[in-house]
Amino acid sequence: MTALDAIILLAGGAFAGVVNAMAGGGSMLTVPLLVLAGVPGVAANGSNRVGILTSNLTTFMSFRREGKTVDPKSLTAIIPPALVGAAVGAFGISQLTDETFERVFGLVMIPLIILTIIKPQVNTDAKDWPAAVTAVVFFGIGIYAGAIQAGVGLVLLAALSRAGLDLVTANVVKVIFTFFATCIALPIFILQGNVRWLPALVLALGLSVGGWIGAKLAVRGGEDRIRAVMLVAAIALALKLLGFWDWLF
């Protein structure tokens, strides 16, 4: 890893940390940046989780300082199925080759970019899901979180907003969900040898700082200020992973 790679990972991580705290989708930027820094695709996916873990801690602490917390009882229906799903997803994705993962990741970014543009809408009139439906939904989200991670915040916000949570509260729940899912997925990537520690730690520093700042911005508003920049960056990185960038330019 060169000094320029470190600067890009640090700055890109800080920006992505803000994005993650305010809505979600920061890994749409950080995983491709790790690939561009020379980390193989599957290892980039695993290395990204180090920063996701630390940044979710700083984001949650920042939310608490802003007076935003959630009732632990509201998490009992979603965390257990998410943990099982995260283990399944992390193990499954680790079986792909680096080239296949990069193509899959690039394709996944396309619907995520669309979801970012649409934005989840709060539905205060929605009825609570039955317990079985809740378990299945969050098991599925857990699989995705363990396998891909990128954009899981957007998917979570859509599900949580459907349940009637306001966007700030849904953001806090999203942070807690992602933290626990990462606690399960990261050790699997480590045991599979799919973490490159130096770039992972540099990225983690940027993500953690960005997460602290982003939580404050999420409480006070301002999500739209960074959405356009993130979309442009995500589209460019998706083109790179899919092999279209060199063909176009």
**249/244 Cα distance (integer angstroms):** 9
**pLDDT at site 9:** 95
Per-residue pLDDT of the chain (249 residues; tens, 9 = 90+): 899 999 999 999 998 888 777 766 778 889 889 998 999 999 999 999 999 998 888 888 887 887 777 778 778 888 899 999 999 999 999 999 998 998 888 888 888 777 667 665 555 565 667 888 888 988 999 999 999 888 787 778 777 766 666 667 777 888 888 899 999 999 999 999 999 999 999 999 999 998 888 777 766 655 555 556 556 666 766 666 666 645 544
**pLDDT at site 248:** 47
Closest CA to 14 of 3, 28, 25, 30: 30
**pLDDT at site 249:** 45
**pLDDT at site 53:** 92
**154/25 Cα distance (integer angstroms):** 6
**45/42 Cα distance (integer angstroms):** 5
| DSSP of 127-183 | PPPPHHHHHHHHHHHHHHHHHT-TTHHHHHHHHHHHTT--HHHHHHHHHHHHHHHHH
**pLDDT at site 239:** 67
Angle, helices 197-220/41-65, rounded to nearest 10 degrees: 40
Taking each continuous run of H as one helix and of E as one strand, the counts in the chain are 11, 0
Residue at token pair 């996916």: 45
**pLDDT at site 143:** 95
